[in-house]
Amino acid sequence: MNYKLVIRMLGTILILEAALMLPSLAISLCCGAEDALALTLAALITLAAGLPMRLLAKPESKNLRAREGFVIVGLAWLAMSLFGALPFLFSGFLPDFFDALFESVSGFTTTGATMITDFSHMPMGVTFWRSFTHWIGGMGVLVLTLAIVPQFTGRNAFLVLAESPGPSLSKVAPKMRDSSKILYLIYAVLSLLMFVALLFCGLNPYDAAIQMMGTAGTGGFSNYAASVGAFNSPAVEIVVTVFMTVFGMNLSLFYALAIGRWRDLVRSEELRWYLLINLGAVLIFLTQMLPLPEYNWDFGKTLRHACFQTATISSTSGFGIADLNVWPIAMKTVIVVLMFCGSCTGSTAGGMKTMRIALLFKQSKREIQHTFSPRRVNVVRFEGRGVDEKMLHQICVFGIVYAALVVLGGVIVSFEGHFDLETNFSAALTCISNVGPGFGGVSGSFAGYGSFSKVIFSMLMLAGRLEIFPILILFHPNVWRGA
């Protein structure tokens, strides 16, 4: 393990995080400055922690192996969440340390599960920071570091691979730095489009920015208790629905679109699967919602809400227009399935990713076929080409570990004895899939859990965002031993 290199990288990331707190500070100063002191203090402490790490650690070799890459990603996210919790803590917004940590992790991992129960008084700067963590976490901090810090060159494929969602890496330019820059630019442009669209719907700039960041990162933090429903505006709901779906797509497809290769968009098999799954969910939701007294066969409103509900879960945003507990049981079950699936590779969303679901499906089909025609040679194909057996194997393992972590999480938190089965398991699933709300006691806030459970949920969220292995690897003793 090249510790000095790891420390230096972590230092760089903390310095960057301190800089990222500045926009929130600016907002705070503009809007009464009640939390300006807390944000300034948090930024200074983060900087004070980062600077010596960056300046004093002088690695002899800049050689980054897979091991260092994964450890850096895992530790970077832990460190960021830790320091990202400071503004909540200092401002008295969430005075309990574990609450603040949970909120910070939930923000960076774009989960959107919250500890807040009282939405009546939200300090502007800290609330902006809370949503801004979504925006940063959506694309990833190391990707951002790579795009803007000049010395970050060399073997950095591991870093980006560990941080970007999905089993494969989509590079849009030969150099990782250029690729990261292009993807961030696409992200920024789409975010801006959404911001403008929300302004047109009549939102004030602050509200528009908060909802935009929650959507772009597919996080789901809002500054109102009723979330997007608080605006009571069909137009806002439609804009948010469309952009949640957009940010659940592979962002490199938009690059293809921008350079005129729209065929890539049409040909993308993952996108087809993603849209088909969403369409299926919308249809099921329609049949379930139409008879409800609230909708009473009003087709237009039902369709709008069915689409919103589908997009908010499948993109793993977790914005609410209604408490999940009010839905019929069939709908809740489909929501659980959608939570597992998540969105596309290379998007800002969580879940297992459509590509893995599609490949698990195809592989199962092949194995079934194999039992009745054992001699048939059958290759699993995806995006028009054969998929490597090694990758299929990895995806199977991923699926198993993913499910195992949901079960494990549910079992561990049950020892605190706070809620029922439905609540505990749905909470574990919603955390690892980075969705946000769950069923039962966690349809609104996670505040009912104890400190221990909050830590467990924080780890689950990080594991889900980094696709499990960068976090699990930190617990393996061999990683820390030897050279």
Partner 1 sequence: MQILVIGAGKVGITLAEELLSEEHDLVVIDRDEEVLQRCQDTLDVMCVHGNGANAKTLIDAGVSHADIVIAATASDEVNMLSCLIGKRLGAKYTIARIRDPEYHESQTLLQHELGIDLAVNPDRAAALEISRLLRFPFASNIESFAKGLVEMVEFRAQAKDVVVGCRLRDLNARLPGLPRVLYAAVEREGVVTIPTGEFQIEVGDRVFVAGDQITITSFFRYIGRDTRQVRKVMITGGGRVSYYLAKLIVPAGMRVKMIEIDAEKAAKLAQDLPQVEVLHGDGTNQELLTQEGLEHMDAFIALSSRDEENLMTGLYAASQGVGKVVVKNNRVNYVQVVNRLGLDSMISPRQITSASILRYVRARISSQGTKVEKLYQLLNGKAEALEFQVPAGAPWIGKPLKDLRMRKGSLVAVIVRRSKVIVPFGNDHMEAGDSIIIMTCERGLSDLSEVIQP
Q: Which residues bind partner 1 (CB under 8 A)?
A: 66, 153-158, 169, 171, 173-178, 388
465 is written with which tokens? 């965002």
Nearest C-alpha neighbor of 353 from the set 339, 336, 335? 339
> Is residue 322 classed exposed, middle or buried when 0-12, 13-18 and 19+ CB atoms within 10 A define those classes?
middle
Nearer to partner 1, 153 or 364 (CB): 153
Give the integer Cα–Cα distance in Å for 298 and 326. Answer: 18
User: Shortest Cβ distance from residue 174 to partner 1 (Å)?
Assistant: 4
> What CA–CA distance (Å, rounded) separates 301 from 299?
6
Q: How many whole angstroms separate alpha carbon 340 and alpha carbon 429? A: 7
Shortest distance, position 348 Cβ to partner 1, whole Å? 22
**Phi, psi at residue 385, to the nearest 5°?**
-140, 160
Q: How far is the CB of 146 from partner 1 (least distance, A)?
A: 10
Question: Shortest distance, CB of residue 379 to partner 1, whole angstroms?
Answer: 13
Q: Which residues in 386-397 are b (16+ Cβ under 10 Å) and which e?
A: ebeeeebeebee
Nearer to partner 1, 175 or 476 (CB): 175
Q: Which is nearer to partner 1, 385 or 481 (CB)?
A: 385
State the nearest-atom distance from the C-beta of 176 to partner 1, in Å: 5
Between 66 and 407, CB nearer to partner 1: 66
CB of 142 to partner 1, least distance (A): 14
**What distance in Å separates the CA atoms of residue 314 and residue 57, rounded to the nearest whole number?**
42
- Residue with smaller CB distance to partner 1, 83 or 398: 398
Residue closer to partner 1 (CB basis): 171 or 301:
171
Residue with tokens 């999940």: 324
CB of 478 to partner 1, least distance (A): 20
- The CB-of-173 to partner 1 minimum distance in angstroms stands at 7
Amino acid at 441: G
Query: Of the two residues 4 and 155, which places its CB atom closer to partner 1 in the complex?
Result: 155
How would you class 467 by CB atoms within 10 Å of its CB: exposed for 0-12, middle for 13-18, buried for 19 or more?
buried
Of residues 251 and 324, the one with the C-beta less far from partner 1: 251
